[in-house]
Structure 1
Amino acid sequence: MNKFELIIYKLIAREIEINKFEQWVYSEKDLECFLSPDEYMDLISLNYKQSSSIYDAEKILKPHINIGKYYDWHLRRVLQKVIEHPSDAHKYIEQCYAMYCDGYDFLDNLGLGYGLTVTFPPSIYSADSWDRLKSSEQKRLIDGFYPGVREEAEKVINWLNTEKLVLTGHDGGFQGIQYTDTRTTEEKEPTSYEVATPTKKWWKFW
């Protein structure tokens, strides 16, 4: 990853403040060589006081990266945070559920087994949402996920490292993430949760 790719990744992920990005645009001497003359002129001509400028800048710069590599970078950062178990680990664990809902089906163990539990805590807790839990309950819930949640995150990173999973892009639609998956049937089996298989029709529950 070169310095331009990293800045573009952070721009897409909204991890760079627009004023700092503006400073980078005007100070980066190699940017003019990285872009076409028209693209460079468009980029330095943006009014960075307007909130829409971040979207306009993204539109100019996005064609210069491999979008699949961006999604790989973004996913790895989330997984690494899960592994590190920071004080705000719940955000990254819950994000695995959001990403699962966006089509990262291989995050089923992390998303459904752990992330969904952050969004909707089990009934043994005093509230049905994370924000309403007592701080002691929040800690107990997250601490109880380890080491299992860490092992699941490490497993996904290994699939990325061995290219059993290769992110290729996003079609812009619901559950639009795109990737190739060469994992074995055994590797695709759920481990952190059980898929319920109803034994009765819904109208025969009595």
Structure 2
Amino acid sequence: MNTISKDIKNRLFKTWLEKEPIAEFENWVYSSTELKDQMDSDSYYEFLSFNYKKTNAISDLKNLIELQLTQPELETWNLKRHLINVKERNKNCIESIRKFYSLNCKGYDFMDSLAFDFGLKLEVPYISQNVVSFEELTEVQKEKIISDFYPEIQDEINKVMSWLENENIVLLGKSNEFGKLKYIDNRTESQKAKKNYTVEKSWWEFWK
């Protein structure tokens, strides 16, 4: 696989996120000398010969784009996708917020604030809504919880996004011997500082 520039990968990422019309991406592929120069000939031909007007073209195009990525890059893109979903409050932002808690538990402990200040309140809604599980929440209750997250959650997302962009956090796309997701932590000590999280007594009483 040839090395392609960050600018090209950003363009691929934008298309992968469906932030750019597929017709614009098609025109760019045909006209971009940089893409031709930097991408290996077989991959470049795949983009040139791709049928951008077929049914489900975007889904197949995403698969084609993913072939240009290493596993760490793909994992980073997936995390950024969830962060952007929540920052922009897209329709699937609830699942992305829940994902923050899951990823923290799986090893991405640099996401502790997103996990415990926000994700946990959806995973354990008894704390604020007096129900046992997320599945018991009404749409009104979900909207109330989510609305209370903003704008604070966007500040946390900006922080994590900056760590990824500046390579303060570098995802490795693999797990350690204990099954925990691995990453390189280049943050300063102040950036690594964690909050002391406590769970309300009523939650513990409920589970006794």
Band the TM-score falls in, shorter-chain normalisation: 0.5 to 0.7
Alpha-carbon deviation of 1:125? 2.7
Displacement after TM superposition at 1:161 (Å):
6.6
Aligned-partner SS, 2:183: strand
- Which AA in structure 1 matches 2:39? L
Instruction: Tell me how far apart the structure 1 counterparts of residues 81 and 65 of structure 2 sit (CA, whole Å).
Output: 23
CA offset at residue 183 of structure 1?
Answer: 3.3
Distance 1:22 1:162 in 2: 26
Aligned CA distance change for structure 1 residues 56 and 151 (closer, same or farther; 3 Å):
closer
1:199 paired residue number: none
Aligned residues: CA RMSD:
4.5
Describe the superposition over 1:91-148 as per-residue Cα deviations: whole angstroms up to 9, x where unpaired: 4322322332443210012113321321332265364443542222112222333454
Quick check: 1:112 aligned with 2:119? no
Q: Which residue does the alignment assign to 1:58? A: 66
Unaligned runs of 5+ in 1: 197-206
Corresponding position: 1:67 with 2:85: no
1:102 to 1:143, Cα distance in 2 relative to 1, 3 A: same
Pairwise CA distance, 1:6: 2.4
Pick from 134, 138, 145 the counterpart of residue 142 of structure 2: 138
TM-superposed deviation, 1:88:
5.5
* Residue among 94, 98, 101 paired with 1:97: 101
Q: 1:66 to 1:134 in 2, by over 3 A?
A: closer
Aligned length: 189
Q: Taking every aligned residue pair, what percent have the same amino acid on both sides?
A: 23
Confirm or deny that 1:188 pairs with 2:182: no
Q: What's the secondary structure of 2:129's corresponding residue?
A: coil
Distance 2:80 2:17 in 1: 16
TM-score (norm 1): 0.60
Q: 1:27 to 1:119 in 2, by over 3 A?
A: farther
Q: How does 1:109-188 map to 2 (within 5 A)?
A: 109-122=113-126, 125=129, 127-146=131-150, 148-157=152-161, 159=163, 165-171=168-174, 174-184=179-189, 187-188=192-193
Contact 1:47 1:53 in 2 (8 A): no
Q: Which structure carries more relative contact order (alpha carbon 8 Å, separation 6+)?
A: 1
Q: CA deviation at 1:77?
A: 5.4
In 2: Cα distance, 1:123 partner to 1:194 partner: 12
Secondary structure of the corresponding residue to residue 179 of structure 1:
strand
Q: Is the CA contact (8 Å cut-off) linking 1:32 and 1:40 kept in structure 2?
A: yes
- Asked if residue 37 in structure 1 is aligned to residue 44 in structure 2, the reply is no
SS in 2 for 1:182: coil
CA gap 1:168/1:27 in 2 versus in 1, 3 angstroms: same
Choose from 13, 27, 43 the match for 1:9.
13
Q: Offset of 1:45 from its aligned partner?
A: 5.8
Rounded to whole Å, the distance in 1 between the matches of 2:106 and 2:27 is: 32
* TM-score, length basis structure 2: 0.60
Are the aligned partners of 2:82 and 2:93 in contact in 1 as well (CA < 8 Å)? no
Is 2:87–2:154's contact at 8 Å kept on the other side of the alignment? yes
